[in-house]
Structure 1
Amino acid sequence: MLRAVAIAASVSVLAVSAVSAQETLKWAHVYETSEPFHTESVWAAEQIAERTEGRYEIDVFPASQLGKETDINQGLSLGTVDIIISGSSFAARAYPPIGVTYYPYIFDGPDHLLNYVGSDVYNELAAGYQEASGHHIVATTYYGTRHTTANRAINTCADMEGLKIRVPDVPAYLAMPQACGANTAPIAFAEVYLALQNGTVEAQENPLTTIEAKKFYEVQSHISLTGHIVDHLNTIVSGSLWDRLSEKDRQIFVEVTQEAAERATRTVQQREAELVDQFREQGLEVIEVDTSTFEESVREKVGFEEFGYREADWQAIRALADGAS
């Protein structure tokens, strides 16, 4: 009888240990549920749960549910979130050099960006961010090429003089609009539609896929294809989570998030190719601009040092354009 009780107690302890070994994580981002950054995050969460045999269950919180982009970046250190999707422009607050990828026209297009991902300079910048912040970049996704929407035509840099335009609350995004004489406003992403609707600002800049997802086309009449930033998002694991992952689980997190990034990148590229015609069919004026006036103004008026960027990193990334198809 005592033996049976002892066995039962042992089984009970093992069961409790198994339950306690399961950890629920929070994955946060600011994007809509319709966007691939969310749908692929959900897919990745399911894959991680499956491949870790349930050791990690991940709840994904989209559309700024756990805070604005600034908040979720801070949440990595505060312990309020475990994984986020966020741009290198926000990572640059912890490690300024990584923000060089937002210097306007550093990339010729998506293929150039993808050449950068996994390059030596990418690995060096990611390592610098990890050392400065304690957090670990596990994957990078093409977010889209940023263009400018407004309620008037913008054909040249000079056409932006005095334009009230919303940009994210990150210095790198200010470079092109301010070089062209625009008045910038750092309105939170979740509040941009209303700000455009009520005239707080008259313009904004984002990729075509975001213009569609956030329905900015409903409150803007023109889209100028300025292509000033070839944008990307990092999937970042908090340092506290990364430190307690086994090597095997780290590999699973990296493999799954990188596969999710590749899937989302393909979706974005395909959708971008379709949207110009779709917006024109909806009655918007889509303007093919000569980007040279924008690029020349930025190079003339915006230095690397004021953002904490290093020209050597810019040169290394520019050199990768030679391998872009």
Structure 2
Amino acid sequence: MKRIRFALLSSVAALSITATHAQTTLKFSHTDQQGGSRHAAAEVFAKKVEELTQGRYKVQIFCCSQLGNDPKNIEQLALGGIDFTVSATGSYAPQLPTLNLTMLPFLVDNYQQGWKLYDESKWLKEQFDKAPAKGFRFLSTWEAGFRSMTTKDPLNSPEDAKGKKLRTFPNEMMRWTLESMGFNIQIMPLPEVYLAIQQGAVSGQENPVDTIFSNKFYEVAPNVTLTNHVYSPIPMAISEKTWQKLSPADQKAMTEAAQIAGKFSRQAIADNDEKQLKDMAAKGAKINTKPNVAAFRTAVQPVYGKAREKFGADVDAFLKDAELVRSSVK
């Protein structure tokens, strides 16, 4: 009898220990390479989640489009197939069309202005607040940087862009901007771009410096032109289905971890641009730091008119917030 009782007590103790250490694994999918800052920030987030939830939650990171490209990740997020993703604001536009306006060209001139815009814009907050109804919610804004060009041939002005085929991601505002510069647009998933340039299917692509560097696009399109035509932060989101399963304390922990990772992401990108450009130059890339930006700004003016035709008063509401930021932060 004593043996049976001892065995039962041992079993209960074992179950108690298992319950104490029970861990829920959450999936975080993104399209960046392992050497990119997006992946580094995801690792910071995962570590903080585990720490702030006392090990009850573990975040498993899937990089490099393993589970899908950006549109697929966001679809899966809304369905609850994955728990987290991080992507360019414009990638969320199929679910929230007004977020197309975040891809308007030349909204801000530097990182400090961009951070203030995303942290304080009343219009942006209103758009982000619509996300839970679409199946996900934004926890913080991470950084990718300003988008620039990598092309096979030198690029200094819209004259050099005429007729050239350039890869970009599926976003209406980006298409309008690049077409107004003179490019022919080719949409394709990020993992296919390197080979497409190498084989001549496209003559180049546009992305932030960190993405250009981590994907080594400068190897096949060695002319890196710092047009900085679109500011491209990457809001990080959680599936609303996952969010609703969390206790208020765990919701707070996830949000705090996302914001800590967001600060890390912003600083990493701001610090790395110059170093990465130097590294690319050392490997044979030709860095054009002073293209004719005035000519590009002039070329994209029709984009604002097209945006007003489609989005009406939202355009000027957001442009007003951007103008306030530009005037207050130099």
If the length of structure 1 is used for normalisation, what is the TM-score?
0.92
Q: Contact 2:79 / 2:135 at 8 angstroms: preserved in 1?
A: no
Offset at 1:219?
0.5
- State the alpha-carbon separation in 2 of the partners of residues 122 and 101 from structure 1: 9
Q: Secondary structure, in 3 states, of the residue corresponding to 1:235?
A: strand
What residue in structure 1 maps to residue 327 of structure 2?
A: 322
Q: Report what 1:142 is aligned to.
A: 143
Partner of 2:236: 235
Deviation per CA, 1:97-144, whole angstroms, max 9, x where unpaired? 12211111112221111001221233222102333x131100111201
Q: Distance in 2 between matches of 1:188 and 1:214?
A: 13
- How much is the aligned-residue C-alpha RMSD, in angstroms? 2.2
Q: Deviations over 1:211-243 (max 9, x none)?
A: 111011110131121110111111100001111
CA distance in 2, matches of 1:307, 1:76: 27
Q: Which residues of structure 1 form unaligned runs of 5+?
A: none
Conserved? CA contact 1:176–1:294, under 8 Å: no
Deviations 1:272-295 (A, max 9, x none): 122333333333322211212212
Shift of 1:263: 0.9
Question: Aligned in 2, Cα 1:188/1:240: closer, same or farther, shift over 3 Å?
Answer: same
CA contact (8 A) 2:80 2:240 kept: no
Which of 115-124 and 179-188 deviates more? 115-124
Q: How does 1:143-222 map to 2 (within 5 A)?
A: 143-222=144-223
Percent identical among aligned pairs is 24
Asked if the contact 1:121/1:317 (under 8 Å) is kept, the reply is no
Q: Give the Cα separation in 1 of the matches to 2:303 and 2:238.
A: 36
Answering whether residue 302 of structure 2 is matched by residue 304 of structure 1, we say no
Q: How far does the alpha carbon of each residue in 1:66-110 deviate from its partner, in whole angstroms, 9 at most, with x for none?
A: 111111111112222101111111111111112211111112221
The answer as to whether partners of 2:37 and 2:210 remain within 8 angstroms in 1 is: no
Q: Whole-Å Cα distance in 2 between the matches of residues 178 and 306 of structure 1?
A: 17
1:152 is paired with a residue whose SS is coil
Matched residue, 2:295: 293
Flag the 1:306–1:201 CA change in 2: closer, same or farther, 3 A. Answer: farther
- Select between 139-148 and 287-296 the one with higher mean Cα deviation: 287-296
1:150, CA displacement in angstroms? 0.9
Say if 2:100 and 2:172, in contact at 8 Å, map to a contact too: no
Q: Which runs of structure 2 are paired with 1:75-86 in the superposition (5 Å)?
A: 75-86=76-87
